[in-house]
Structure 1
Amino acid sequence: MMAGHKKWSSWARPERNLPAHVPALDGIRGVAVMLVFISHFHWILSKKTGYSQVTPWKFINRTFEAGFLGVDIFFVLSGFLITSLLLKDRANKQPGMVGRFYKRRALRLLPALYALLIVDFFVAWLEHARMDFQWRTTWRALLYLNNWNVVWNFRGSRNDLGHLWSLGIEEQFYIVWPAVVLLMLALKLHHQIIITVLSLAIAAIVVHRINLWNDDIYWLFIYIRTDTRVDSLLVGALFAYVYRHYRVPSQVLNWAATLCFAGLMYIKYELDASPFIMKTGFTVIALLAGIIILAAAEGAWFANRVLISRPLTIIGKVSYGLYLWHLPVFLILGRHVTSGPKPLRILIGIIVASVVTAISWIFIEKPFLNLKNRRYGNVPAIH
């Protein structure tokens, strides 16, 4: 126990802020959104709610089912970046820290979301969809309550916006977390105490999730509820404190990140259909992803040369728009383009989703992002 404490003490360093731009984290964001993107290919092929196999090969189909890993990586990365940003603002003595944070988030997130909701509402009207479902789903999406909308109205929500459940969890976390960070700073808690408290909170959520599973709560509700998934965001916050206060040797981080990547692959191909995922798996995935993110942020992982490649960093920069638009595009195509070879229909889906994402980035997101940076400075991108 003492030896472990001495090891951490030897890695301690003066407080350090996360740089405004870390290309490797853009790359991780790009990987995460692509995992989600390819996991939804089957919606292009069928207008039914059931799963449609994308290829004749089971291994490839299972590779296409890694979206849950992408979501967990997003959660951890968001927790890491939001906490790093808040701590940086505090260290720089920025006035109105919490207000600045919410204004930045609004300028980054709301314009593209509003555009999506307007377009989706118009499509629903053209398709003569159930407009009571549409109204309910739309206003709850506006309030970032879409994950709870599915829980409260499982059969009465519009599927085109179903993927917004994860953004709902993130935004609900964003509402609470800045005040928590501010309180911990006001109390002048030592970072080791904060890391310990975060660890206990994460463990408590794991116990809560296990209890829900043992009580036979429907698996989808465990998957999308805020109280069962916020541990991944807290893991990201924990690693933000580790990054700020400790410098783990590069060789240690390199090996640790490589082993964590292997662990993620093992979970994906060997354990993804087991109760382990719903009970403790999400937290294990988050911890493995957190170590990879820490290594990437430190520039210590050999795979950084891949993460900083131009294709991945570009995808990472537009990941928010790609995440917003890809599933509605796939679902609409699945309903209306019902014939033709599978590869051609998937290719059409990729092209249409990419074009819509580019339009969203150029004409909606980037202008507001530039406005945000002019008013509040260039800060680490959370989405």
Structure 2
Amino acid sequence: MAEHGHDPERGARRAAVVSPRRSPAADRPPGTLLADPPSRLPGQPRTPGQPRTPGQLRTDGRPAGSTRPTGSAAPQERAARATGAPERSGAGRGGRNPALDGVRALAVLCVLVFHMDSLPGGYLGVDVFFVLSGFLITGQLLAERDRTGGVSLTRFYLRRAYRLLPAFWLLALVGLTAVVLPGIGTAGERTEFLDSLAASTLYLNNYFQVVRQSTGAGWLGHTWSLSLEEQFYLLWPLVLVALCRRPSLARRLPVVLLGGVAGVALWRNVLVTSGAPGTRTYFALDTRADALLVGCALAAWLRAARQGAAGEGGAALCWRRRLDRVGAVLPVAGPAALALLAVATVTAPSGWGQGSAWLSRGGYTVVALLAGALILTLEQGATTSWLFRALAARPLAWLGRVSYGFYLWHFPVVAHWGHDLTGALGRWPAVVVVGVISMALAATSYYLLELPIQRRRPAGPRPPRASPPRRQPALAGSRGSR
């Protein structure tokens, strides 16, 4: 959502951020939403008929092929299971967690209202989405490693391409047709669009925004966050595999990742102190990775806790005990985190000035930690809680599933129609109309383009079948020895 500044030849109808009172501020920190991986936890159970591979966990939390513990081990397992959450969320059982889809929907709605100049801190929705992305992607990678003993980078990158590229290229094609081919746009708009298209295609739009603020003629300015996330997708699987190959680091993976969070926050603070502009600290991967790493650390923690419940070592059991202690406060921590996030979206500054320095000095990290607390509550808390039921409501869960397309399309809708709708209907009715139009476009993209392509995605190789037990050599003199 890097929508700061515009070409002087563009009329008021082409403004990137809409307000009935003023033109878009050239120093507003934009927010955006990202493509969503399926909401599944690491260690999800196998599908019926799928053979277990070495190291894969059973649905009861024990390694494949193990038997129920007896003797002194049985009380330990019963104690670990007794201290768990009373009724864990859908994702905790290996299914899609509709409450996380609800969180994603609220985040993208905050971004929409921000772009309509009606929620000053709505861009913080992007931080929530970064945490979700880090959590879900890391969960998938760790689950694959536990299930198969390794991570297929080729399949991972292929899944990301099938998920992200179709909807993006549809938006780019429509924008190219509207701005460049018929010659409808001005020369400045055509140049701006083509420059943004090149940066977005190379997934460098976030650093392009650092150098030169651009809305992409009202079509592609918001793709900076897609670029940032793709840079994360490119690097993080390699880093995770390297960390997991070191047993000492693998056992302490949540702590290692939290150390990364602290390092990014410190580096961002150093840049602010040295006088770096707000665009540098807002758009760059090295200064925004703390939100992604919070989600990564959360996924690593839950995976370690599950291993502790399965009796897989002292370090894992410590992580399980820590999770049990935190679980006691989740019924209060989750709603409190959501309330504080709501307050932040109302009170956060909307400019790059001195008033926003506290965000770069640690505020973004605090927002990410609050989002992590909310996600943890929805993963480990009871599905019967009011918070889970409210966020898992069908309208919110549906919007969360199509939020990628909603984000892609809401920006040009706001840029080209938002100002006129606000003048004709008033601010909040215009927000509703823009939201409805964006939902319709997102649903069209999702059901007619994204889902059909997802169904045609090549299936990965099946996990290898477990080798049959080797026959023991027959005793000498028996019939089997002949």
Q: Shorter chain as normaliser: what TM range?
A: 0.7 to 0.9
- Number of the residue aligned with 1:341: 425
SS in 2 for 1:154: coil
- Number of the residue aligned with 1:27: 102
Deviations 1:178-222 (A, max 9, x none): 111111222234545222221222111111111211222221331
2:215–2:221 CA contact under 8 A, matched in 1: no
- Number of the residue aligned with 2:153: 98
Take 2:126 and 2:108, find their aligned partners in 1: how far apart are those partners? 8
Give the helix-richer structure, 1 or 2. 1
1:330 aligns with 2:414: yes
The residue type paired with residue 246 of structure 2 is L
1:80 alignment partner, one of 122, 135, 139: 135
1:104–1:376 CA contact under 8 A, matched in 2: no
2:357 alignment partner, one of 246, 257, 275: 275
CA 1:253–1:348 in 2, change beyond 3 Å: closer, same or farther?
closer
1:255 aligns with 2:340: no
Task: Give the aligned length.
Answer: 345
- Number of the residue aligned with 1:381: none
SS in 1 for 2:456: helix
Take 2:114 and 2:215, find their aligned partners in 1: how far apart are those partners? 24
Q: CA deviation at 1:254?
A: 1.8
Q: CA deviation at 1:342?
A: 2.2
The residue type paired with residue 262 of structure 1 is A
- Number of the residue aligned with 1:240: 299
- Number of the residue aligned with 1:120: 175
Task: Point out the more displaced range, 305-314 or 330-339.
Answer: 330-339
Q: CA deviation at 1:69?
A: 2.2
2:121–2:347 CA contact under 8 A, matched in 1: no
- Number of the residue aligned with 2:445: 360
- Number of the residue aligned with 1:52: none
SS in 1 for 2:203: coil
1:18–1:88 CA contact under 8 A, matched in 2: no
Deviations 1:288-338 (A, max 9, x none): 111111111223464001111001100000000001110011102147768
1:134 alignment partner, one of 170, 189, 193: 193
- Number of the residue aligned with 1:294: 376
2:193–2:216 CA contact under 8 A, matched in 1: yes
- Number of the residue aligned with 1:172: 231
Task: Point out the more displaced range, 253-262 or 178-187.
Answer: 253-262
- Number of the residue aligned with 1:56: none
SS in 2 for 1:90: helix
- Number of the residue aligned with 2:11: none
CA 1:243–1:165 in 2, change beyond 3 Å: closer, same or farther?
same
Take 1:315 and 1:355, find their aligned partners in 2: how far apart are those partners? 11
Where in structure 2 are there 5+ consecutive unaligned residues? 1-79, 85-90, 306-319, 350-354, 462-482
- Number of the residue aligned with 2:65: none
Task: Point out the more displaced range, 131-140 or 316-325.
Answer: 131-140
Task: Point out the more displaced range, 300-309 or 70-79.
Answer: 300-309
2:193–2:220 CA contact under 8 A, matched in 1: no
Deviations 1:39-74 (A, max 9, x none): 1124xxxxxxxxxxxxxxxxxx4xx23322210010
SS in 1 for 2:335: helix
Take 2:213 and 2:366, find their aligned partners in 1: how far apart are those partners? 28
The residue type paired with residue 124 of structure 1 is V
The residue type paired with residue 65 of structure 1 is P
CA 1:18–1:163 in 2, change beyond 3 Å: closer, same or farther?
farther
CA 1:33–1:172 in 2, change beyond 3 Å: closer, same or farther?
same
2:260 alignment partner, one of 201, 211, 214: 201
- Give % identity: 34
Q: CA RMSD in A?
A: 2.7
1:329–1:353 CA contact under 8 A, matched in 2: yes
Deviations 1:146-181 (A, max 9, x none): 111111223695443111111111110000001111
1:369 aligns with 2:428: no
1:264 aligns with 2:341: yes
- Number of the residue aligned with 1:319: 403
Take 2:343 and 2:196, find their aligned partners in 1: how far apart are those partners? 36
2:393 alignment partner, one of 306, 309, 315: 309
1:161 aligns with 2:220: yes
The residue type paired with residue 194 of structure 1 is L
Take 2:193 and 2:93, find their aligned partners in 1: how far apart are those partners? 41
1:284 aligns with 2:366: yes
Task: Point out the more displaced range, 218-227 or 92-101.
Answer: 92-101
Take 1:199 and 1:159, find their aligned partners in 2: how far apart are those partners? 37
1:188 aligns with 2:247: yes
Take 1:232 and 1:347, find their aligned partners in 2: how far apart are those partners? 29
Where in structure 1 are there 5+ consecutive unaligned residues? 1-9, 43-60, 378-383
TM-score, scaled relative to structure 2: 0.66
SS in 1 for 2:219: helix
Task: Point out the more displaced range, 359-368 or 146-155.
Answer: 146-155
Task: Point out the more displaced range, 159-168 or 268-277.
Answer: 268-277
SS in 2 for 1:303: helix
Larger RCO, structure (CA 8 Å, separation 6 or more) = 1
TM-score, scaled relative to structure 1: 0.82
